Amino acid sequence: MASTSDLHVTNLFSLKGHVCLVTGGGTGIGLMATQALASNGAKVYITSRRGEVLDNAAKTHSPDSSSSGEIIPLGPCDVTSKDDLSKITKELESKEKYLSLVVAAAGVSGPKGYPDTSSATQMKDNLWKEQVEEWRDTYQTNVISVFFSVVSFLPLLQAAPKELQASVIIISSMSGLMRDSQAHFSYNASKAATAHLARMMSKEFSKTGVRVNSIAPGYFPSEMTMKESDENNKVDMPDEKVKDKGHAVPAERSGNDQEMAMGVVFLTKCGYVNGEILKLDGGVMNEVGGG
């Protein structure tokens, strides 16, 4: 049984001894996850397609305190390539005995197609402009690469000490849970697939002792949503940006780094959670409904 001091937040959420990998860890939500993990004591490897982004993330956001964790660039790696995934897996195996967490945060937004008309002819014209190749690219990054990224690291995850309760966090989206297309049919459909992929993984991978959960963010500032990043690989999302979405955003603002960090650390540490989709959406799904 726990003593009162055992339940102090520094004991509950310390990540000392954790070794983590974050795909898409140089910007956006992946970087928020990276910072949260490293700040609480974890050694965090980050990878993405752009090596300079990784180097800048590590240089700019590594913890100041020697008692905290560290951020280590790995790669670059294109997660849509099995060869690249095999390469960084072998590199990690040469450096570490285990991984305790994989965060699959790499993603793309895909093409837009506007269904906001009652004319079937006009709707067809609006949507037919989308390209099959764009849909394939969206699924390749948001779904297929998530599957192979996690599968590639399963043996390292299973090798983690049992007290670390190894797990995977898959970044899906509230967009994959709602019926509104948001003019992003390919993205929303891919994120629905990502969320269900996480559910299937949680069931099947439990045999290995590895938990799988998903975070479904709402509006968070990222390079993908704002189309840019600053010199710190960060970007702001003004409040007015979330007030013209065609539906209510009860929080009346975007989510922030601290709120994403809370979700990531909770799912990392709470070994009694498996197969869940944590909605960090500012209350949007209460308004729009969905799965």
Q: What are the backbone angles phi and psi of residue 242, rounded to the nearest 5°? A: -100, 5
Q: With CA atoms as reference, report the closest residue to 284 among 218, 214, 187.
A: 218
Which of 98, 139, 187, 219 is the catalytic position?
A: 187
Query: Where does the chain have alpha helices with state H?
Result: 9-12, 28-39, 51-61, 82-95, 120-128, 132-139, 145-158, 185-204, 223-226, 257-269, 284-288
Q: Which amino acid belongs to residue 80? A: T
Confirm if 242 and 253 have CB atoms less than 8 A apart. Answer: yes
| Pair of tokens at residue 108 | 């793309």
Q: What are the backbone angles phi and psi of residue 254, rounded to the nearest 5°? A: -80, 165
Q: With CA atoms as reference, report the closest residue to 141 among 217, 194, 86, 218.
A: 194
Q: Which amino acid belongs to residue 123? A: M
Q: How far apart are CA 123 and CA 62, in angstroms?
A: 48
Q: How far apart are CA 210 and CA 268, in angstroms?
A: 11
Which of 45, 139, 191, 269 is the catalytic position?
A: 191
Q: Does the annotation mark 187 as catalytic?
A: yes
Looking at the DSSP assignment, which residues form a beta bridge with residue 280? Answer: 217
Which of 48, 100, 145, 172 is the catalytic position?
A: 172
Query: Where does 232-283 have alpha helices with state H?
Result: 257-269
Q: Does the annotation mark 191 as catalytic?
A: yes
Q: How far apart are CA 272 and CA 183, in angstroms?
A: 37
* Helix axes of 185-204 and 132-139: crossing angle, nearest 10 degrees: 30
Catalytic (active-site) positions: 172, 187, 191
